């Protein structure tokens, strides 16, 4: 039995299978996931697990070279924007309107659904390499 790191079998497999430049998303409980994008549904109840908990667990296991956020996070959830930036200090960030982010999420290999209920807590991550 695995004893540390991400224990969810589906998520652990998907993270291990990522290649350089692959896209994946961490989103809130209400983020629409386009048809054809695999969903790892972690939501248990409102707020459980939080976006921050999931992001931290994922960043402990995956190299990220870039990420995409909605412009709206700057106004409606600046604390979370700063949290994401602090967790990814070397990664390049690109902003787009929330509607465009939703469309862009169709390019993701998979999406992780959290229990987050705050505004615009959605990020698309681009896998990097460790060498």
Active site residues: 20
Binding-site positions read 28, 98
Q: Known binding site for substrate: residues?
A: 28, 98
Cβ neighbours, 10 Å, residue 99: 10
Helix (H) or strand (E) segment spanning residue 29: none
Residue whose C-alpha is closest to residue 40's, from 20, 21, 60, 18 = 18
Of the candidates 41, 34, 17, 20, which has an alpha carbon nearest to the alpha carbon of residue 104?
34
Q: Per residue in 79-98, is it b (16+ CB within 10 Å) or e — as a string?
A: ebbebbeebbeebeeeebeb
């Amino acid at each position: 039995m695995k004893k540390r790191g991400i224990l969810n079998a589906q998520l652990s497999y998907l993270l291990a299978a990522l290649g350089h430049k692959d896209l994946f998303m961490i989103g809130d409980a209400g983020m629409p996931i386009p048809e054809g994008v695999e969903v790892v549904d972690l939501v248990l109840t409102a707020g459980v697990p939080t976006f921050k908990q999931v992001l931290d667990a994922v960043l402990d296991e995956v190299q990220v070279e870039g990420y995409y956020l909605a412009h709206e996070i700057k106004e409606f959830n600046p604390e979370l924007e700063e949290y994401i930036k602090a967790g990814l200090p070397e990664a390049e960030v690109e902003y787009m309107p929330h509607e465009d982010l939703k469309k862009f999420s169709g390019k993701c290999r998979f999406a992780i659904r959290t229990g987050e209920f705050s505004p615009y807590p959605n990020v698309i991550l681009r896998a990097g390499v460790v060498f």
